[in-house]
């Protein structure tokens, strides 16, 4: 058990929608009440014991909601501390502390507080005095010490010894504090700070979903080994063939391929590795191809086998294996939820006589109502459960009925829109029908398209004109007309739909907000520069010139054109998939932050100050002294802003390498400026980011889209009902419910809870 103290901030389990197979929210079936039994009774403990059982049930239910482990202390003081620790304010403070310590990399030495990262033009950055960032670090360390202390106390010594994450947490804090002390001892002049590389661990250990994802990745890596080894063999064999095919000859004109790409073993490996990503295609082939067209077969065969077959096979393996391991993690989360609910049931009931069967145990509905009043959960879900409990005719709940009650947690949260207003006036009813019809929305889309086309036409006409020749009259007049139409459209929609229903749609909120912003900008433009007229080119007044104001308005108009997405079902499906990924892939985004952070700090340690600008290289001139810069090099392409001289520059450089476009330029430059071994760093980054993380992202994108596509045919119109889904919804249909015996076995293994049966 390695994640007991962590909360899964995002929902792990897919939800079930009330449908043919499930009763609607807030109802019980007619035969759901348990048969009364003489041995079935409510927990009859009084006073402090009764309050303790109530508090235990509250915590267990909250654990189930958040997919937390229930293996923690359950005495009164510990329960109070536990709920306080997982309160919003404490978790907010912890999250803010993690963000703060990660953000220190931008201001501490070497500081990123400069306008540009270009080493030719970058000025002297502000460096914090010694002790400033160290004081902030100390505060963060104290918060983390309190965090690990509370976690360790709550789970107890036996569980603490089994929890590798907590042990690693303590070790990280110890190493960080030692390194912090060394920094102060050297007056902040040391070049290597180990604690910086360890900082991402604080983000990693605070998210159960991130830890689950990391565990899944670790278990997936061995499955990838066979394909990676096959890729390595493929690369090595073609490297050998290439060095033999393009060996040095007496004719220097025929040696361009050897000189440029196959000069030695490291260069040959690098050239073909980059070709595997197609970043240097067809550059690497051209010298040999210009000599003999038959040489193209070598490069085409290498690319087909390596890029089209092996790399895509690697993606398929990652998709298949990772999905399997993630499914296991989601299955364990289902067990946590069911176990938390069952634990709440067990502490709320006990047999009056023993022995009795499990079916004879029950919980009073009134007792459960007391518990639910204290539980922190979604208000809609709580209200549905409360209605169901109050409607229970027998007043008691069996174990099966108790568990079924909390199936409400597994259902899709559905957002229902407010009703449209009912007007008594026949005229208003006709207005409501006309402007509430979906054809009015289509008309708005046509007008928005016409606006975009008019902007494009004017921009094309003015593209070659000088600023002094440009007349903003036509563009200003057109914008004024269309913005007035957008305002009228918004007001008519509000009249037809009602304000509450209008703002309940995200597309309307987006549309209305941009319309208001456009109106404010247009009024501001008229107030400063007057109304449009022929020859409208006034001098700059205020913060922005007239051209800047017009450009800003046009950019917002173009952005507003995205309103057409909800009206095109397939496009809406794709857009909703992307939005779901943005909302629910926080674990993957967090892992990417961890990897970026660690590699950026490592890059600063290895390559800070390695790249030095060449003397007097201008933007136009590409010569230095008598030497002409080679085409396609770091210097000729002026990649000077891409360096590792500060944290922000390092992050951007790593991003550019991850995209793998021209990443051979970085391999060549840093091997020349630093060491040939620098290629190991960049290849490791390519494997981690482009091969593993990007493929995982693609795999989940495919799975999420396929899942939404399958569900889409069974759902009503997206414009009427909005289903708040998660990426993990795809696993709901294949999860197995834990058995009664499995739940009871887990409960009897609880280190701090003693059941009476």
Cβ neighbours of residue 393 closer than 8 Å, sequence gap 6 or more: 33
Q: Does residue 83 belong to any structural domain of this protein?
A: no
From the number of C-beta atoms within 10 Å of its C-beta (0-12, 13-18, 19+), residue 601 rates as: buried
- Asked if omega into 291 is within 30° of 0 (cis), the reply is no
pLDDT of residue 325: 67
Report yes or no: 565 and 440 within 8 Å, Cβ to Cβ: no
Is residue 595 a part of any domain in this protein?
Answer: yes
Peptide bond into 110 cis (omega under 30): yes
> Is position 96 within any domain?
no
* Sign (positive or negative) of CA dihedral 7, 12, 17, 18: negative
202-214: b or e for each residue (b if 16 or more CB lie within 10 Å)? bbbbbbbbbbbbb
- pLDDT recorded at residue 732: 64
pLDDT at site 415 = 64
Position 442 in a domain: yes
Q: Are residues 598 and 481 in the same domain?
A: no
| Same domain, yes or no: 549 and 627 | no
Both 589 and 712 in one domain: the answer is: yes
- Pairing relation of β-strands 627-628 and 623-624? antiparallel
Query: What 3-state class would DSSP assign to 624?
Result: strand
Neighbours of 612 (CB within 10 A): 10
DSSP 675-735: -TTHHHHHHHHHIIIIIIIHHHHHHHHHHHHHHHHHHHTTS--TTTEEE---GGGGGGGG-
pTM of the model: 0.77
Same domain, 549 and 610: no
**How far is C-alpha 404 from the geometric centre of its chain's CA atoms?**
32
Domain shared by 655 and 546, yes or no: no
Q: Which of 403, 406, 404, 396 lies closest to 349, judged by CA?
A: 396
The b/e string for 735-748 (b: 16+ C-beta within 10 A; e otherwise) is: beebeeeebbebbe
> Radius of gyration over alpha carbons of the chain, in Å?
32
Distance CA 54, CA 80 (A): 12
- What would the two tokens of residue 467 be? 């600023």
pLDDT in tens, 488-499: 989 999 998 888
User: Which runs of E-coded beta strand occur in 402-548?
Assistant: 414-416
Contact call for residues 656 and 630 (beta carbons, < 8 A): no
Q: Provide, for the chain, the percentages of residues in helix, strand and coil under a 3-state DSSP scheme, each rounded to the nearest 5.
A: 65, 5, 30
Minimal CA–CA distance to 101: which of 144, 159, 162, 47? 144
For residue 411, which of 337, 340, 331, 504 has the smallest C-alpha distance?
337
In a domain, 93, yes or no: no
569 near 719, Cβ under 8 Å? no
CA distance 600 to 541: 43
Exposure string for 250-260, b = 16+ CB within 10 A, e = fewer: eeeeebebbeb
Residue 234: φ, ψ to 5°: -60, -45
Instruction: Enumerate residues 6+ apart whose C-beta is below 8 A from 469.
Output: none
The Cα–Cα gap between 430 and 441 comes to 16
Instruction: Name the residue among 338, 334, 332, 354 with its Cα closest to residue 399.
Output: 338
Nearest in space to 13 (alpha carbons), one of 743, 737, 712: 737
Mean pLDDT by 10 residues, the chain (757 residues): 46 41 47 46 54 91 90 92 94 96 93 91 88 94 96 90 92 96 89 91 88 80 82 92 84 75 88 89 88 90 91 83 71 88 86 43 86 87 85 81 82 70 86 84 85 83 71 77 89 90 85 87 80 67 64 78 70 68 73 93 93 61 51 88 94 93 90 92 92 81 68 49 47 75 88 75
Of 307, 328, 326, whose CA–CA distance to 318 is shortest?
A: 326
Tell whether 556 and 664 lie within a shared domain: no
Eight-state DSSP code of residue 540: P
- Spatial neighbors of 422 by CB under 8 A, at least 6 apart, are none
Number of helices (H), then strands (E), belonging to the chain: the values are 29, 6
Q: Say yes or no: 562 and 591 in one domain.
A: no
Structure tokens at 340: 């938390």
C-alpha–C-alpha distance, residues 226 and 221, integer Å: 10
CATH code of the domain containing 438: 1.20.120
306 closest CA partner among 220, 225, 230: 230
Burial bucket for residue 92 (CB in 10 Å: 0-12, 13-18, 19+): exposed
The residues near 7 (Cβ < 8 Å, ≥ 6 apart) are 66, 67, 68, 86, 91, 208
Furthest C-alpha separation in the chain:
104
Cβ-contact 268, 261 below 8 angstroms: yes
**Domain final residue, candidates 514, 539, 567:** 567
Are both 455 and 588 inside the same structural domain? no
Report yes or no: 501 and 417 within 8 Å, Cβ to Cβ: yes
For residues 541 and 615, membership in a common domain is answered with no
Q: CB neighbours (10 Å) of residue 706?
A: 12
Together in a domain, 452 and 527 = yes
For the chain, the domain total comes to: 2
Residues 450 and 560 in one domain: yes
Q: Are 101 and 137 in contact (CB under 8 A)?
A: yes
Cα 392 from Cα 399, distance rounded (Å): 14
Query: Per the domain annotation, does 646 fall within a domain?
Result: yes
Q: What pLDDT, on the 0 to 100 scale, is given for residue 721?
A: 42
Q: Are 644 and 685 in contact (CB under 8 A)?
A: no
Q: Is residue 522 part of a domain?
A: yes
Same domain, 536 and 588: no
Hey, what's the torsion of the CAs at 33, 37, 40, 44, to 10 degrees? 110
- Find the domain containing 614 and state its range: 583-723
Which pLDDT score, from 0 to 100, does residue 44 have? 44
Report the residue count for the chain: 757
Report the CATH number that the domain containing residue 668 is assigned in CATH. Answer: 1.10.287.70
Last residue in a domain, options 518, 534, 567: 567
Q: Is residue 716 part of a domain?
A: yes
- Tell me the DSSP string of 649-663: HHHHHHHHHHHTTTH
Using the 3D structure, point to which of 567, 601, 635 is the last residue of a domain.
567
Alpha helices in 392-472 (DSSP H): 399-405, 426-436, 438-461
């Amino acid at each position: 058990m390695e994640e007991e103290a962590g909360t899964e901030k995002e929902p792990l389990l897919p939800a079930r929608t009330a449908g043919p197979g499930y009763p609607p929210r807030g109802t019980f079936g007619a035969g759901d009440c348990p048969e009364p039994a003489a041995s079935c009774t409510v927990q009859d403990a009084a006073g402090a014991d009764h309050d303790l059982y109530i508090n235990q049930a509250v915590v267990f239910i909250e654990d189930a909601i958040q997919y937390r482990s229930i293996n923690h202390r359950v005495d009164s003081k510990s329960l109070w501390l536990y709920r306080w620790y997982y309160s919003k304010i404490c978790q907010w403070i912890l999250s803010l502390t993690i963000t703060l310590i990660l953000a220190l990399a931008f201001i501490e030495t070497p500081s990123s507080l400069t306008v540009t990262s270009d080493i030719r033009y970058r000025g002297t950055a502000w460096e914090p005095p010694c002790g400033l960032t160290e004081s902030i670090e100390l505060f963060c360390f104290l918060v983390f010490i309190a965090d690990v202390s509370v976690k360790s106390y709550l789970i107890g010594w036996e569980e603490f010894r089994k929890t590798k994450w907590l042990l690693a947490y303590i070790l990280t804090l110890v190493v960080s504090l030692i390194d912090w002390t060394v920094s102060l001892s050297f007056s902040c002049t040391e070049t290597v700070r180990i604690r910086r590389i360890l900082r991402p661990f604080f983000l990693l250990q605070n998210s159960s979903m991130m830890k689950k994802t990391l565990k899944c990745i670790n278990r997936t890596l061995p499955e990838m080994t066979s394909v990676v080894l096959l890729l390595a063999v493929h690369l090595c064999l073609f490297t050998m063939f290439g060095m033999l095919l393009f060996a040095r000859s007496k004719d220097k004109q025929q040696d361009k391929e050897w000189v440029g790409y196959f000069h030695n073993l490291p260069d040959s490996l690098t050239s073909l590795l980059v070709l595997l990503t197609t970043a240097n295609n067809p550059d690497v082939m051209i010298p040999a191809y210009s000599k003999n067209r038959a040489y193209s077969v070598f490069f085409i065969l290498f690319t087909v086998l390596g890029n089209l077959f092996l790399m895509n096979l690697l993606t398929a393996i990652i998709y298949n294996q990772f999905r399997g391991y993630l499914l296991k993690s989601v299955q364990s989360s289902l067990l946590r939820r069911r176990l938390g609910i069952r634990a709440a049931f067990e502490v709320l009931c006990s047999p009056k006589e023993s022995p009795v069967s499990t079916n004879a145990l029950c919980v009073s509905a009134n007792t459960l109502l007391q518990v639910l009043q204290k539980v922190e959960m979604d208000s809609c879900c709580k209200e549905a459960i409360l209605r169901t409990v109050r409607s229970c005719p027998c007043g008691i709940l069996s174990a099966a009925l108790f568990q079924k009650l909390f199936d409400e947690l597994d259902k899709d949260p559905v957002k229902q829109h407010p009703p449209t207003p009912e007007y008594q006036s026949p005229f208003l009813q006709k207005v409501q029908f006309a402007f509430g019809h979906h054809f009015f929305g289509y008309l708005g889309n046509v007008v928005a398209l016409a606006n975009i086309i008019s902007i494009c036409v004017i921009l094309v006409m003015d593209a070659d004109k000088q600023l002094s020749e440009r007349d903003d009259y036509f563009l200003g007049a057109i914008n004024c007309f269309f913005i007035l139409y957008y305002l009228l459209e918004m007001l008519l929609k509000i009249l037809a739909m009602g304000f509450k229903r209008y703002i309940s749609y995200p597309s309307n909120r987006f549309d209305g907000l941009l319309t208001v912003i456009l109106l404010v900008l247009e009024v501001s433009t008229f107030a400063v520069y007057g109304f449009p007229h022929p020859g409208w080119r006034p001098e700059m007044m205020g913060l922005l010139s007239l051209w800047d104001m017009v450009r800003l308005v046009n950019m917002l108009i173009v952005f507003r054109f995205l309103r057409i997405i909800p009206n095109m079902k397939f496009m809406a499906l794709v857009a909703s998939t992307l939005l779901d990924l943005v909302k629910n892939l926080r674990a993957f985004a967090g892992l990417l932050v961890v990897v970026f952070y660690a590699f950026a700090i490592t890059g600063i340690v290895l390559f800070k100050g390695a790249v030095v600008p060449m003397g007097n290289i201008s933007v136009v001139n590409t010569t230095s002294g008598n030497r002409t810069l080679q085409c396609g090099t770091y210097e000729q392409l002026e990649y000077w802003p891409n360096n590792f001289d500060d944290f922000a520059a390092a992050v951007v450089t790593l991003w550019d390498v991850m995209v793998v476009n021209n990443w051979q330029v970085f391999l060549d430059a840093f091997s020349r400026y630093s060491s040939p071994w620098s290629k190991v760093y960049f290849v490791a980054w390519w494997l981690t980011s482009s091969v593993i993380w990007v493929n995982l992202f693609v795999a989940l994108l495919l799975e999420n889209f396929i899942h939404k596509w399958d569900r889409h045919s069974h759902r009503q119109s997206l414009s009427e009902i909005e289903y708040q889904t998660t990426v993990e919804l795809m696993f709901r249909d294949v999860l197995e419910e834990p058995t009664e015996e499995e739940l009871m076995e887990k409960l009897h293994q609880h280190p701090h809870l003693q059941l009476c049966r």
